[in-house]
Amino acid sequence: MTEFFTFLKSLNATGYLFLALTVITLICAIGVVTARNPIYSVLSLIATFFCLSGHYVLLNAQFLAAVNIIVYAGAIMVLFLFTIMFLNLRKEDEDSKTNLTKIISVVAGGLLMVMLITIFRAQSAKVPLYNRTNFSTETGLVENLGRLLYSDYILPFELVSVLFLVAMVGSVMLGKREAGDRHF
- Answer yes or no: is pLDDT of 103 > 70: yes
Q: Is the pLDDT of residue 92 over 60?
A: no
- Mean pLDDT, the chain, as a whole number? 81
Per-residue pLDDT reduced to its tens digit, 15-57: 889 889 999 999 999 998 888 888 888 889 999 999 999 999 9
Statement: residue 184 has pLDDT above 60: no
Q: Is the pLDDT of residue 170 over 90?
A: no
Q: Determine the pLDDT at residue 114.
A: 93
| Alpha-carbon gap, residue 137 to 149, rounded angstroms | 19
Q: Would you list the domain boundaries of the chain?
A: 1-107, 138-176
Look at residue 44 in the predicted model and tell me its pLDDT: 92
pLDDT(76) > 90: no
Does the pLDDT value for residue 93 go beyond 60? no
Put simply, whether the predicted model's pTM sits higher than 0.75 gets the answer: no
The CATH label, of 1.20.120.720, 3.40.190.10, 1.20.120.1200, 3.40.50.920, for the domain at 1-107 is: 1.20.120.1200
pLDDT at 183 over 70: no
Please report which confidence band the pLDDT of residue 140 belongs to, taking 50, 70 and 90 as the band edges: low
CB 46 within 8 A of CB 23: no
H or E, element range at 80: helix 77-87
Phi, psi of 132 (to 5 degrees): -70, -25
* Whole-Å CA distances, 73 to 76, 130, 148: 6, 30, 26
Q: What is the percent of the chain with per-residue pLDDT over 70, rounded to a whole number?
A: 79
Cβ neighbours around 161 below 10 Å, total? 10
pLDDT more than 90, % of the chain? 18
Which residue has better confidence, 141 or 45?
45
